[in-house]
Amino acid sequence: MKVFYDKDADLSLIKNKNVTIIGYGSQGHAHAQNLKDSGCKVTVGLRKDGASWNKAKNAGLNVAEVNDAVKGADVVMILLPDENIGQVYAENVAPHAKQGATVAFAHGFNIHYGQVVPRADLDIIMIAPKAPGHTVRSTYTQGGGVPHLIAVYQDKSGTARDVALSYATANGGG
């Protein structure tokens, strides 16, 4: 295991990308707000009539239906309950993600157990904060952060690790 810090990450990498966060629950709200506060271009992908649509809008975030949010994204972070990730990836992410985009998860269960079989052209990374979302957010707003684990499953671009580090730093994990 190698430990990285803010000085090891290039924050400009994630700031120069359009980031979509799918989901606005415990982790989704924290990632979306932290990345926005770090100067990133963030869109939250949600169901139009879902319970979180107005919450995300009221937090000052850009909100779009999932397919539209994915189409415009360079990085797609899927932060949904495990039982929904496979279907959302198959129906909303795989058919709409840009060629060469990065798809991220907060853990590797769906990849490991074959619920998500990624397209070959995508970078697949994990950025996993080691705390519940409310702690990820509150620690960030206090000027700190919680440790994040990162992993690279598929590195088509050759820059997947650097993007994961940049995202983690923007989320308070550097």
Helices (H), the chain: 11-15, 26-37, 53-58, 66-71, 82-88, 109-112, 133-141, 160-170
112 tagged catalytic? no
Q: Which of 31, 96, 107, 148 is catalytic?
A: 107
CA–CA distance, 167 with 165 (Å, rounded to integer): 5
DSSP assignment of 103-139 equals EEESSSHHHHTTS----TTSEEEEEEESS-HHHHHHH
CB 153 within 8 A of CB 125: yes
Tell me which residues are annotated as active site.
107
